[in-house]
Structure 1
Amino acid sequence: GLDVEMSVTNNFDEYYMAEPLKKEILEGNIDESLINEKVRNILRLMERLHMLSGKRARGYYNIPKHQEEALAIARESIVLLKNENKRLPLCEDKIKKLLVIGENANKIHSNGGGSAEIKALYEISPLMGLKKRLGGNTEVIYVNGYYVEPKMEENDANWQETSLEDALLSNRNKEISLETKVIRDLYLKEAVEQAKRVDEVILFGGLNHDYDSEGIDRDDMKLPYDQDRLIQEVLKVNPNTVIVMVAGSPVEMGEWIKNSKAVMWSWYAGMEGGTALAEALFGDINPSGKLPVTFPNQLNDCPAHLIGEYPGGKKVSYLEGIQVGYRYYDTHQMDTQFCFGYGLSYTEFAYKNLSIIANENEDVSITVSVETTNIGCVEGSEILQLYIASKNASVERPLKELKEFQKVLLKPNETKEVIFTLDRKAFGFYDVNTKQFKAESGRYEICIGSSSKDIRLQKIIELNNTYYY
């Protein structure tokens, strides 16, 4: 359970683990040994961090190694969602004028604080990353494209507490003024006119921390600030426009994605995110990220909305049960915008020679090996995903579940063997009747794929015994 209760208000004595917990202990409803256990957990962590001895290492802050790690992480996180006719990577030798559209091209996302945002010493925006990458041989033209109304002024009170109440809602739900509509029309017209006169266009859209934030649910999955209209109009005059989404959660793309040739996804990638994006767009690196969540086509495809439990009231029932996330979409065979584990590359990979060696003595030990080959022309990394499907479970189980994954870097025509080792936990579930985890005997399908819906190889194995843990 919870060892430390950390909220954002200053009424500390009223926290659940303050006076209310003390009262329960004094009345004998909670054993004091539970408190001792929590204190031991906290002291143990403090000891590991050398906080009790006073000899805590000073550490380092924003040294070159940290910046290199930030760049490496940003590179790994980029997801290529669409690349029709190999539209990407771009060729800089053919670009004399590059148009960059969208506030997210020039926006810094790590200038906040609190648990949902960080405050970095610097952040390379996508626009700065492109200018750094292209140097002086390409003219980079920037236009806003869409207009974001200025935020309401925050008062001197606890900004994080305020954010949990109504500040973000006020910024989101302001009625769009006539002035804002006029500015948006002007910005859109400027972007469309510029898009007709350049060699390449990259349009950066997505969300910001007015929408991706703690304590506040989004009302929908639509792009704010009239971005859908901007993207559609730009694609009409320049169908080769590359779309880059910067966001921390899925957005609906149905109004324009069929007309786009290339779509790249970037999360809030930190200090070096703009550097990494520029490298990916021009092929200095090969995108290798995979989606850690499902991107539904629309809000009403999300299980909570589909079932009808959102937004709920004082009581919300989790009627999806164990079918959480991708498990729901896969089990119910729902069409999605992009499935869990999805992500393209500038090369292609072939899978072959799936082999499974099962050993059941006192425990389950299963070795799964598979070979993957880079059958394209450039170096790239592939994430092989291992899913397990229970074929005759005694209780409801998802269609399949991700149990292991490995990332391998391959040169063109190179083949590598990838080995997974599975124990009883890979096949287990929590039995509500016996109140313990178990892996029951029966048939299981081992699936190897590039995403939850792109299974390349599979084999059936059988567990002869039931194991508890």
Structure 2
Amino acid sequence: MIDSILEKMTLEEQVSLLSGADFWTTVPVERLGVPKIKVTDGPNGARGAGSLVAGVKAACFPVAIALGASWSPALIRQMGTALARQAKSKGAAVLLAPTVNIHRSGLNGRNFECYSEDPMLTGELAVAYIEGVQAEGIAATIKHFVGNESEIERQTISSDIDERTLREIYLPPFEQAVRRAGVMAVMSSYNRLNGTYTSEHHWLLTKVLREEWGFDGIVMSDWFGSHSAAETINAGLDLEMPGPARDRGEKLVAAVREGKVEPATVRAAARRMLLLLERVGAFRKTPDLTERAVDLTEDRALIRRLGAEGAVLLKNDGILPLAKTSLDRIAVIGPNAATARVMGGGSAQIAAHYMVSPLEGIRAALSNANSISHSVGCRHNRLIDVFKGKITVEYFKERGFKGAPLHVETVDKGEFFWFELPSGQLEPADFSARMKMQFVPEESGEHVFGMTNAGLARLFVDGRLTVDGLDGWTRGENYFGTANDEQRGAVMLEAGRTYEVTVEYEPSITNEDGINLIAVRFGVEKPLGDADIEAAVETARNADVALLFVGRDGEWDTEGLDLPNMRLPGRQEELIEKVAAANANTVVVLQTGGPIEMPWLGKVRAVLQMWYPGQELGNAVADVLFGDVEPGGRLPQTFPKALSDNSAITGDLAVYPGKDGHVRYGESVFVGYRHHDTRAVEPLFPFGYGLGYTRFRWSEPRLSASEMSSEGVIVSIDVTNIGDRAGSELVQLYVRSPKAKVERPDKELRAFAKLALQPGETGAAILKILPRDLAYFDAEAGAFRAEAGDYQLIVAANAADIRFVIDLPSPSSYLQPPSY
């Protein structure tokens, strides 16, 4: 069927398939019955074609680092299946996920979107995710291929990575997705790789991806991430996104006519696009692009379970789990207590069906809600609190707010990120919008209004210009680097009085990099100070236990910018110190997208890392704190004692964050625990670390063979739950290699098994390794090499908790090229 359609297509029709029609759909060829299909973000929920900050509601699942902490491929496969259903509810056939870039610096703004610092763990979870999604007939899109481990200058920076490091650390998750899961789509990254844009990188997209690994799906650009006609398609990029065509269309037709692109190259790319449509069933049934909100009981239960499975108990001196019946007074404190921080920022955002805050979850878990007191203490937000309430929006056909509004609507949040304007008569490059709202402060005093805009905007309070986002506008870090840094203005307000707030917005001229977004965000807040911290301390002092919810949110952990450091923002560290001094029973619950420094660790009784676990946040927190379930998570990323202990933070700007348009991966393969173990840098918490509520006994390991062979070796370990509670144990298998002609890490993860056991129950961890698991990549030979000799198998509960070391001879050398 596909070849029959291809034979009838003109060159222009073939080329039309190779660019999007708009932001989210492909181009149909109605003459030949070729339909359009829709793609959708993202990794923790299917948003559909709506705004990043609004639109049809969807189920919000945990972010990737929380899934990485679960170490549970089976659960993640279930999540993939659920996400495929959510994609269908948005009329989408392609899900733009998963993200499998590696945790490198600890500061990456999208650290939360990635599974782990380890390629083996990342690959296992990605395979499970893809299998779940694609079993339902939805295409998964693994991204970002490759070298996108930072958001700094990401559209242009060159990630300079040697081939050995690529083959051992950064490429394996993509390879596993292709070879094992049959992923249907790959998204190229924005950055350059060793000087060449990945969207134009023939070695990457054709030699490695297609010829070595046998990939037969499509390669699409990240949005606005392609820069040429001939170079991209000759390299192997099939689909330019978003549409309409910028570097394809007539330019690509001309390139064929001029002999810069072979007609067969266009035909092959068009064929892959048609194959994708066939694989997702678009030819069998015309895709219904209608978007619906589908809130399923089974999705709610799965999200809640995943939240607990990814929760990592970092410290516990016995205070957890809390007994529901023995606590008369509980203090719930902190900037993340009453507000549900359920996801990171950027393109992963969705409009969740609902969001349960920790305070709400704890109240629901306890029969005596009157025993709970709450205090905020301090703020940690990077941007002023977004305005919430009735907002009337008037849209005008041209700039300048001329004449009568063409369209009027009412919304409830002061953030707009327009992929599609509400009327087809409005042009994205030439319209204006006026937002009108009323604000009634609860307290008298100074209030701060803030606004950031991709475009030009001004904010007025009672007709007086308060925030100027027009004069002197310059690009900053918001909205993927297309908006200005937040502009602020302070106003003295009177409690109970009604103030008229107006925002006027117009789009700006096209940005020089071709990314032209239209967005505005505005808000107002009354700053917190010493009195608010003291109020939180008093709340803690009068309680039996203080539950302190701190961390970050999606303004910090977001696409578009990296973190400034690894400390808690705002006055949160001060809040922890003072609350802990007032109440000896202080439990800290963290929500971050990666590691943080903890100078206060010795002053609190327990620390629970919850990440951003989706819409059931509060319920999952309560489940763990009160022992209804155990914290099932183990760290997928090393937590250093200090940022300077990270392998990428060397003081050399060329290594991080980059210099003169290049970022050099100078640490080579020594990322995460590979660095800490090999360089003897003691971490705060090691890779794979996590506590539970019960105890386990491990048997002596059993091996299926006394030496390595082509069939591999199976290691079996019996694990018994010797405690009085159900719980889970993680068994990790590392390989330690003999001296080679290149320096190798002290040990490398090669297999793992997570066992859920009832009290008294015994389960078997079955761990298999193959000859390639002993190997490193020999760049001179262009192959994976393992010399004959004596290796060691290290059985561990985490990278620092080694239970058994087993000698394993390998009598034969192993040499395997990448294309096998």
Cα pair distance change 1:87/1:24, threshold 3 Å: farther
Cα separation, 2, equivalents of 1:451 and 1:23? 57
Per-residue deviation at 1:227?
Answer: 0.2
User: Who is 1:312 aligned against?
Assistant: 658
The alignment status of 1:163 with 2:479, answered yes or no, reads: yes
Residues 99 and 201, structure 1, Cα contact 8 Å, conserved in 2: yes
Counterpart of 1:278 (choices 622, 640, 652) is: 622
User: Who is 2:763 aligned against?
Assistant: 416
Letter in 2 for 1:49: V
User: Who is 2:223 aligned against?
Assistant: 7
The alignment status of 1:344 with 2:691, answered yes or no, reads: yes
1:320-372 deviations in Å (ceiling 9; x for gaps): 11112221122111111111111111112222211112388982321111121
Residues 359 and 365, structure 1, Cα contact 8 Å, conserved in 2: no
Cα separation, 2, equivalents of 1:99 and 1:433? 61
In the TM superposition, 1:361-380 aligns within 5 A as 363-380=710-727
In the TM superposition, 1:85-164 aligns within 5 A as 86-110=318-342, 114-136=346-368, 138-147=370-379, 148=381, 149-150=384-385, 152-155=450-453, 162-164=478-480
Cα separation, 2, equivalents of 1:327 and 1:38? 40
The worse-fitting range, judged by mean Cα deviation, of 288-297 and 363-372 is: 363-372
Residues 708 and 810, structure 2, Cα contact 8 Å, conserved in 1: no
Cα pair distance change 1:416/1:298, threshold 3 Å: same
Cα separation, 2, equivalents of 1:177 and 1:163? 26
Cα separation, 2, equivalents of 1:111 and 1:368? 38
Cα pair distance change 1:397/1:70, threshold 3 Å: same
Cα separation, 2, equivalents of 1:464 and 1:146? 62
User: What is the aligned-residue identity percentage?
Assistant: 33
User: Who is 1:225 aligned against?
Assistant: 570
Residues 113 and 119, structure 1, Cα contact 8 Å, conserved in 2: no
* TM-score normalised to structure 2 length: 0.52
Residues 146 and 225, structure 1, Cα contact 8 Å, conserved in 2: yes
The worse-fitting range, judged by mean Cα deviation, of 139-148 and 106-115 is: 106-115
User: Who is 1:258 aligned against?
Assistant: 602
Cα separation, 1, equivalents of 2:571 and 2:250? 49
Per-residue deviation at 1:412?
Answer: 2.3
1:140-193 deviations in Å (ceiling 9; x for gaps): 21111112443533447599995111658548xx89999999722121010001
User: Who is 1:403 aligned against?
Assistant: 750
Per-residue deviation at 1:260?
Answer: 1.1
What root-mean-square deviation, in Å, do the aligned CA atoms of Structure 1 and Structure 2 show? Answer: 3.4
SS in 1 for 2:664: coil
Residues 245 and 266, structure 1, Cα contact 8 Å, conserved in 2: yes
The alignment status of 1:267 with 2:611, answered yes or no, reads: yes
Letter in 1 for 2:631: P
Per-residue deviation at 1:426?
Answer: 2.0
Residues 291 and 343, structure 1, Cα contact 8 Å, conserved in 2: yes
Per-residue deviation at 1:219?
Answer: 0.8
Residues 694 and 727, structure 2, Cα contact 8 Å, conserved in 1: yes
Counterpart of 1:297 (choices 624, 641, 645) is: 641
Letter in 1 for 2:536: A
Unpaired runs of at least 5, structure 1: none
SS in 2 for 1:271: coil
Cα separation, 2, equivalents of 1:65 and 1:128? 21
Counterpart of 2:703 (choices 345, 356, 360) is: 356
Residues 95 and 138, structure 1, Cα contact 8 Å, conserved in 2: no
The worse-fitting range, judged by mean Cα deviation, of 367-376 and 216-225 is: 367-376
Per-residue deviation at 1:16?
Answer: 7.0
Per-residue deviation at 1:464?
Answer: 1.7
Counterpart of 1:49 (choices 255, 280, 292) is: 280
Cα separation, 2, equivalents of 1:432 and 1:24? 36
Cα pair distance change 1:175/1:4, threshold 3 Å: same
The alignment status of 1:327 with 2:643, answered yes or no, reads: no
Q: Highest CA radius of gyration, 1 or 2?
A: 2
Cα separation, 2, equivalents of 1:133 and 1:456? 38
* TM-score normalised to structure 1 length: 0.89
Residues 247 and 268, structure 1, Cα contact 8 Å, conserved in 2: yes
Residues 96 and 138, structure 1, Cα contact 8 Å, conserved in 2: no
SS in 2 for 1:376: coil
Per-residue deviation at 1:112?
Answer: 8.1
The worse-fitting range, judged by mean Cα deviation, of 211-220 and 14-23 is: 14-23
Residues 123 and 273, structure 1, Cα contact 8 Å, conserved in 2: yes
Cα pair distance change 1:142/1:18, threshold 3 Å: farther
Residues 709 and 771, structure 2, Cα contact 8 Å, conserved in 1: no
Per-residue deviation at 1:232?
Answer: 0.2
Per-residue deviation at 1:134?
Answer: 0.7
Cα separation, 2, equivalents of 1:341 and 1:65? 29
Per-residue deviation at 1:257?
Answer: 0.4
1:374-404 deviations in Å (ceiling 9; x for gaps): 2222110011111111123332221111111
Unpaired runs of at least 5, structure 2: 1-204, 206-217, 226-240, 387-449, 457-474, 494-524
Letter in 1 for 2:480: L
Cα separation, 2, equivalents of 1:326 and 1:167? 37
Residues 146 and 184, structure 1, Cα contact 8 Å, conserved in 2: yes
SS in 2 for 1:92: coil
Cα separation, 1, equivalents of 2:695 and 2:285? 53
Cα pair distance change 1:297/1:39, threshold 3 Å: farther
Cα pair distance change 1:55/1:328, threshold 3 Å: same
The worse-fitting range, judged by mean Cα deviation, of 441-450 and 228-237 is: 441-450
Cα separation, 2, equivalents of 1:261 and 1:328? 29
The alignment status of 1:203 with 2:548, answered yes or no, reads: yes
Cα separation, 2, equivalents of 1:186 and 1:143? 11
Cα separation, 2, equivalents of 1:11 and 1:417? 49
Cα separation, 1, equivalents of 2:743 and 2:377? 49
SS in 2 for 1:87: coil
Counterpart of 1:61 (choices 287, 294, 298) is: 294
Cα separation, 2, equivalents of 1:211 and 1:121? 23
Per-residue deviation at 1:47?
Answer: 2.4
Cα separation, 1, equivalents of 2:270 and 2:312? 42
User: Who is 2:185 aligned against?
Assistant: none
User: Who is 2:584 aligned against?
Assistant: 239
Letter in 1 for 2:385: P
1:57-78 deviations in Å (ceiling 9; x for gaps): 9999321111111112112110
The alignment status of 1:384 with 2:384, answered yes or no, reads: no
Cα separation, 2, equivalents of 1:463 and 1:207? 48
Residues 452 and 484, structure 2, Cα contact 8 Å, conserved in 1: no
Per-residue deviation at 1:280?
Answer: 0.3
1:419-458 deviations in Å (ceiling 9; x for gaps): 1122233223322112233444222211111111111112
Cα separation, 2, equivalents of 1:352 and 1:19? 67
